[in-house]
Every structure is written in C-alpha cells, then in structure tokens.
Homo-oligomer: A and B are copies of this chain.
Amino acid sequence: MSEFSIIENYFQGRSFQRRDVALGIGDDCAITDIPEGQSLAVTTDTLVNGIHFPESTPPILVAQKAVAVNLSDLAAMGAEPAWLSLSLSIPEHDEQWLHEFSLGIQQMSEYYSVQLIGGDTVKGPLSITITAHGFIPKDQALTRSRAKPGDLLYVSGSLGDAALGLDICKGLVHAHPSHKNFALDRLNNPSPRVLVGTMLRRIASSCIDVSDGMLSDLKHILYASQCGALVHVDKLPLSHAMTQTVSAEQAYQYALNGGDDYELLFTVPESLKGQLELALVNANVSATCIGQIAGLNEKLRLTLDGEAYTTEINGYDHFEEECSE
C-alpha cells in the first residue's frame, strides 16, 4: 500500500470536520480560514518510540499523547485548538496498528473539536510529529516573558505523576495497582489544560506548560521575564497516588523535576487573584498557589516549611534520556 492510500484510507474524513477548513486531506495543501481579529498559534512536537513513550504503549494511547502534548502547548498560550497536521514514521504497514492509531487521533479530534487537515507517512522507526494550530484573540497570547515581581505563581492539577508512572513502568518503584494505573494514565494519556489556558487569557501575566519538569519550565519563565521566584515546596500539589506510593522527599523530587506533567504553570498579578479564583470555580478546575515571582537578583529560591530547601534542577531532557521497558 502506498503513502497516498495510507493517509486516504486511515485518516481522511475520519476526524471532526470544521467549517473553517475549506479543503482538508487530499490535495497538495489544506486550505483554512482564520476568524477575524484572531491570531494563529502554531506548535510542533515529535514523539519518538522508546523515548517519549514506552515501547509497549498501545497505539491508541500513542496517538492520544501525540495530540495531547501539542494541544498542551496551545493551552499554554491561551489558544483554542483548531487543526492538526500529522507526520507518521512507521517501520512497516501494520493494518491493526494503523487502525488503532487512527482511532486515537479520531477520538482526540472529536473531543477537542480539532480537524486533521493533512499529513505524510514514511517508512522508518516509529515516531509521530504533529503540528497543531489554534486561535487566540490578537494581543492576548500568554507568553513566558511578562511575569512581574510580586505576581503569584500557580500550577494546575498535580505535579510529578507522569515521572512516577515512568519509574513504575521501569520497575524502579512499586505501587498499589490503583495508584499504578493512575500514574501510568497520567504518563500515557495526559489531559491538555485547554480550558484553563483560554480562561487565563486576561488574568495570567505569563504561562508555560510543564513538560520538562516544573523547576526547569519555571526557569524558562524567569529567564524570559528577567525575574526571580520563591517556591514553597510544601505547597506543591501532590496526588493521592503520589503521597501513598513514595516518601515526601521523593514526592517533592518528582514534583519539582519530573517531566510530562502537561499542567499549566502561570503567574497572576495579586490584584487579579480574586478574578482567578472565581474563574477556577466557574470552570471547575483546580490550581494551587505555590509561590511568588521576585526580582531578578533574588534568583530562584525554594523553601520547605519556612526553611531554605536545596535541590538540583534536573530538566527532563528527552534528548539524552531514554526509557524502555
């Protein structure tokens, strides 16, 4: 079966269909329209077998994660997802695998109302590259560069679960089956915080998604905003599965340096704290204040129960770190 028929057979017409797509899969390009007054947000992420997901991950979860990590980047800008382009490298033409993978793409497409508008398929080691497109009202994008000293630092959901899941899958940590399932689900099936992102548009001063580890991603905000920060380690949001599986000290390490959380880390001016809390309640979303932005000369400081806390900042570097079951 040729490249052409792989895309045609498995992906064409099988995603959510949007009115702003004049022409989808099947020509040299897709043709799309942007609503007036909106900018376009564009992001690209590649997942490689054995590095970004364990070898044995079911194809439906691979597809879901590939879409999710891209939607998470859109969420971090406050953008509303619209379209996906897919490049799939597969070692052989495996009908069952392709069927299940395309089902995963379809489910994400329908859940988030995004349309798959094009793609390419090549023979090679399993990897998936997605370019995701979204809309954001002009001049409302949540960048990394506008945090100010005094802004409160928040994170959505809980931290470190995916890294815990990775260590469970590697056999380095043993967990109760229900905690194991929770942590593996957080690793393999992350939920991009799309709603939180759009909700933060006129509230947050800066935002990033936590993909490399909270501290590592916080450093991107601090670098781009030329600020320092104080983080209260005892306030880090930890899941029940986390606190029941490892010691407090290990949990802090997962929460500070674990990758693949896909939560949003954002800063909010103190004057907008009330507005944020109202919005969180309305959207039924949890976010925790974990610290405060400081001046550049105060650098990045951590405290635990009021005492200085020291840790290495180990950004989760996919390029150097391999995971295989």
Contacts and interface: CB of A to CB of B under 8 A. Distances in A.
Contacts of A138: 33
Interface in A21-80: 22-23, 26-34, 36, 39-46, 48, 51-52, 73-74, 76-77, 79
Contacts of A2: 315, 317, 319-320
A267 interface: no
Contacts of A318: 3, 122-123
B319 A23 contact: no
A3 B30 CA distance: 29
A131 B46 contact: no
Nearest to A72: B28
A289 to B, nearest CB: 21
A279 B117 CA distance: 32
A180 interface: no
Q: Which 7 A-B pairs have the closest CB atoms?
A: A28-B76, A29-B41, A131-B131, A29-B43, A44-B85, A28-B73, A87-B129
B46 A41 contact: no
Given A3-B317, A26-B224, A31-B141, 16 more contacts: A22-B39, A27-B145, A28-B76, A29-B74, A29-B77, A30-B43, A31-B39, A32-B40, A42-B133, A44-B85, A48-B122, A51-B123, A51-B124, A87-B87, A122-B127, A123-B320
Most buried by B among A79, A120, A134: A120
Nearest to A208: B28
Given A42-B117, A318-B122, A319-B122, A31 B136 contact: yes
A118 B42 contact: yes
Given A2-B319, A124-B127, A141-B22, A39 B32 contact: yes
A22 B77 CA distance: 13
Contacts of A165: none
27 contacts: A2-B317, A6-B319, A22-B39, A23-B143, A27-B77, A29-B73, A29-B76, A29-B141, A30-B42, A31-B141, A32-B40, A33-B39, A33-B138, A36-B36, A42-B131, A43-B85, A44-B118, A44-B129, A45-B87, A46-B122, A48-B123, A51-B124, A85-B131, A89-B127, A123-B318, A124-B127, A127-B127
A86 interface: yes
Contacts of A40: 31-34, 40
A209 interface: yes
Contacts of A143: 23, 27
Report which residue of A41, A44, A77, A209 has the largest number of chain B beta carbons within 10 angstroms of its beta carbon: A44
A76 B6 CA distance: 22
Interface string A81-92: 001011101000
A77 B319 contact: no
